[in-house]
């Protein structure tokens, strides 16, 4: 009898070690979602001590913003296993698998959930695309996102752009914004205005490709009374005059007709203009921000854009990178848009891990605008709480199919192994490896042991 008791004690100790030293966070609740047991990994995701978490209900923790949505809550709601991505406290994303345990009557008795940190996966995915010697710089940028007036980014390229935005906002120089359709040029223009000394003054914008040639001139320069049949007899202010003291944003500047390019050059150089039909030059104090998705240099060579105007507006160009070149921002943007549309449409939609994987692998030719439109469509049209891969537009499903026979998990594991072993070979210390890669020493030691075996 004593031997059996001793064996049971040893077995229990072994199970406790397996539970505690698992790579994943493990959490056990009762049928109502009250936490009964969890390991340190799971507690660390919630930024709580184990003793603090035990006895708490997952619904209360969700209300406090510890995580969202609750996978255990979904199991209770649906009565079956659930896989989803949570946003966890501290700006992290975690992948959660929650499973119900049924009693002999088929009722839920316990719920166990397994949690894995997606932030580390995102880091390793970035390493797949960059040179090894960029590791330290990338880790620093990943962990310290920059935010300016609501625009946040973890991407090195976008951080550089936002740093330029911050510097140029402090002066009154005209700015040229360059980037593909949908990257957020109008948002950047607004940020420049809001950060500048003109923030309390007018901000106007016009898309030079959206109006006929005759209307663009009137919109920009205004007209004197009596110029047009049916027009305002007192005349009309143009956007230049309306923007006096503030900022005027000219989007799609490459579409501006040549004769208006000449008038614009005069305004930029002389800071004065003449309304259509007027004879008097009006003085102007306005900051002009231009933007285009076209190659203005090629347009100059083709005679479609004035060379003197090009050199005048190209003094301070800001290039806004395409979304496919700053993929580390995709999950943050997706989560931001999802929250926005859930609130607007009074829904509680979330995305399955496969959907987020597709988001990361798709090229997003329409950039941030396309991502936002896709998420709005998914929120509106989804019949279920958790959006699955099959709910995505067909072109995203097809275009983002991985060409490799390896799964994303296998690819990332290979990259992780290469990085861990190379750093360990150089440092010969799990502590130094942990410090360099921004992970805990326990995690570093565990990974080194795993990959050396």
Q: What is the DSSP letter of 336?
A: H
Together in a domain, 225 and 281: yes
Task: Give the list of residues 6+ apart from residue 446 with CB closer than 8 angstroms, or none.
Answer: 21, 23
Question: Which 3 state secondary structure label does DSSP give 229?
Answer: coil
Q: Distance between CA atoms of 206 and 242, rounded to whole angstroms?
A: 12
Together in a domain, 311 and 231: yes
Q: Distance between CA atoms of 103 and 254, rounded to whole angstroms?
A: 69
In a domain, residue 299? The reply is yes
Q: Distance between CA atoms of 54 and 28, rounded to whole angstroms?
A: 10
Q: What is the DSSP letter of 312?
A: H
Smallest CA-to-CA distance from 124 within 442, 448, 439 is with 439
Together in a domain, 257 and 364: no
In a domain, residue 129? The reply is no
Together in a domain, 346 and 311: no
Question: Which 3 state secondary structure label does DSSP give 396?
Answer: helix
Together in a domain, 234 and 364: no
Together in a domain, 10 and 112: yes
Domain count, the chain: 4
Question: Which 3 state secondary structure label does DSSP give 43?
Answer: helix
Q: Distance between CA atoms of 48 and 88, rounded to whole angstroms?
A: 12
What pLDDT is stored for residue 448 in this prediction?
81
**Which segments of the chain have a pLDDT < 70?**
1-19, 21, 119-150, 225-234, 400-412, 414-415, 418, 453
Specify whether the CB–CB gap between 179 and 185 falls below 8 A: yes
Specify whether the CB–CB gap between 196 and 169 falls below 8 A: yes
Q: By percentage, how much of the chain surpasses pLDDT 90? A: 32
Together in a domain, 189 and 233: yes
In a domain, residue 151? The reply is yes
Q: What's the CATH number where 359 sits?
A: 1.10.8.60
Question: Which 3 state secondary structure label does DSSP give 296?
Answer: helix
Its domain, for residue 327, covers 323-399
Q: What's the CATH number where 306 sits?
A: 3.40.50.300
Together in a domain, 334 and 195: no
pLDDT digits (tens, 9 = 90+) for 51-110: 888 999 988 888 888 888 888 989 998 889 988 888 787 777 888 889 999 988 888 999
Q: What's the CATH number where 96 sits?
A: 3.30.450.20
Together in a domain, 313 and 329: no
pLDDT digits (tens, 9 = 90+) for 339-367: 999 999 999 998 888 888 888 889 999 99
- Final residue in a domain of this structure, among 399, 416, 438: 399
- Which H or E run includes 128? helix 118-129
In a domain, residue 69? The reply is yes
Specify whether the CB–CB gap between 151 and 195 falls below 8 A: no
> How many of the other CB atoms lie within 10 Å of CB of 213?
12
Together in a domain, 21 and 166: no
Together in a domain, 164 and 262: yes
What pLDDT is stored for residue 206 in this prediction?
92
Q: Distance between CA atoms of 147 and 155, rounded to whole angstroms?
A: 11
What pLDDT is stored for residue 11 in this prediction?
64
In a domain, residue 127? The reply is no
Q: Distance between CA atoms of 362 and 104, rounded to whole angstroms?
A: 46
In a domain, residue 19? The reply is yes
Q: Distance between CA atoms of 69 and 56, rounded to whole angstroms?
A: 16
Together in a domain, 328 and 315: no
What pLDDT is stored for residue 227 in this prediction?
60
């Amino acid at each position: 009898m004593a031997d059996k008791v001793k064996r049971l004690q040893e077995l229990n100790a072994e199970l406790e070690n397996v539970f505690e030293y698992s790579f994943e966070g493990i959490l056990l609740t009762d049928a109502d979602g009250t936490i009964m047991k969890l390991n340190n990994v799971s507690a660390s995701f919630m930024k709580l001590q184990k003793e603090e978490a035990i006895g708490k209900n997952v619904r209360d923790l969700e209300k406090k913003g510890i995580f969202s949505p609750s996978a255990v809550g979904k199991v209770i709601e649906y009565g079956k296993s659930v896989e989803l991505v949570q946003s966890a406290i501290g700006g992290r994303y975690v992948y959660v698998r929650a499973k119900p345990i049924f009693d002999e009557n088929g009722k839920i008795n316990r719920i166990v959930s397994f949690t894995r940190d997606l932030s580390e996966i995102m880091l390793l995915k970035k390493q797949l695309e960059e040179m090894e010697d960029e590791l330290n710089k990338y880790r620093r940028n990943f962990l310290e996102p920059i935010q300016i007036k609501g625009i946040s980014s973890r991407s090195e390229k976008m951080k550089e752009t936002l740093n330029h935005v911050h510097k140029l906002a402090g002066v009154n120089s005209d700015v040229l914004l360059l980037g593909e359709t949908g990257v957020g040029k109008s948002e950047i223009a607004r940020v420049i205005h809001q950060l500048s000394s003109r923030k309390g003054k007018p901000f106007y914008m016009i898309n030079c490709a959206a109006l006929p040639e005759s209307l663009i001139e009137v919109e920009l320069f205004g007209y004197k009374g009596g110029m047009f049949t049916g027009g305002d007899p007192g005349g009309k202010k143009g956007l230049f005059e309306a923007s006096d003291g503030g900022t005027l944003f000219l989007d799609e500047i490459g579409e501006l007709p040549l004769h208006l390019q000449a008038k614009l050059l005069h305004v930029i150089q002389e800071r004065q203009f003449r309304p259509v039909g007027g004879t008097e030059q009006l003085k102007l104090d306005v900051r002009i921000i231009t933007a285009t998705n076209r190659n203005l240099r090629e347009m100059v060579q083709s005679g479609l854009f004035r060379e003197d105007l090009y050199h005048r507006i190209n003094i301070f160009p800001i290039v806004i990178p395409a979304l496919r070149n700053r993929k580390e921002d995709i999950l943050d943007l997706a989560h931001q848009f999802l929250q926005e549309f859930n609130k607007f449409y009074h829904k509680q939609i979330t995305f399955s891990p496969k959907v987020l994987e597709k988001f990361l692998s798709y090229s997003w030719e329409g950039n941030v605008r396309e991502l936002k439109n896709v998420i709005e469509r998914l929120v509106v049209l989804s019949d279920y709480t958790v959006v699955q891969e099959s709910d995505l537009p067909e072109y995203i499903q097809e275009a983002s199919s991985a060409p490799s026979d390896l799964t994303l998990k296998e690819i990332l594991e290979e990259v992780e192994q290469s990085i861990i072993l190379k750093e360990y070979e150089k440092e010969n210390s799990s502590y130094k490896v942990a410090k360099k890669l921004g992970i805990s020493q326990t995690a570093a030691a565990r990974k080194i042991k795993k990959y050396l075996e």
